Amino acid sequence: MPEKNIFKKIIDKEIPADILYEDEQCLAFRDVAPQAPIHVLVIPKKEIASMDAIDHEDAELMAHLWLVIRDLARQLELDQGYRVVVNCGEQGGQTVDHLHFHLLGGRMLDWPPG
């Protein structure tokens, strides 16, 4: 059995996280190495390795994740704007093999990002 990645350990409550939102489908928590004043990670509880691993059957879950992100942005008062980032694969900057969305805000975000 492969070793659990850090996000699975957070889902399973094996390691602590500053959780802002949780339901039966997903979890949102503050990033431990924030890149902006507000930096929240939103992850599905279903183990999906990356954007490339999303199946058609995951459509409702993906819609739910986007609505959670929108609601978190409102809750965190990011009314001046925010950015949502999804890294996919090594060259895309993905470091954990579990689909995750970065919600960033609270300052002016430069473009291009990287």
Contact 43/7 with Cβ under 8 angstroms?
A: yes
* Catalytic annotation present for 98: no
Q: Which tokens hold the place of 108?
A: 């002016």
Q: Which of 39, 56, 64, 100 is catalytic?
A: 100
Helix (H) / strand (E) element for 63: namely helix 59-75
DSSP secondary structure letters along 66-80: HHHHHHHHHHTT-TT
Residue 18 to residue 28: CA distance in whole angstroms: 9
Neighbouring CB atoms inside 10 A of 27's CB total 21
What residues are annotated to the active site?
A: 100
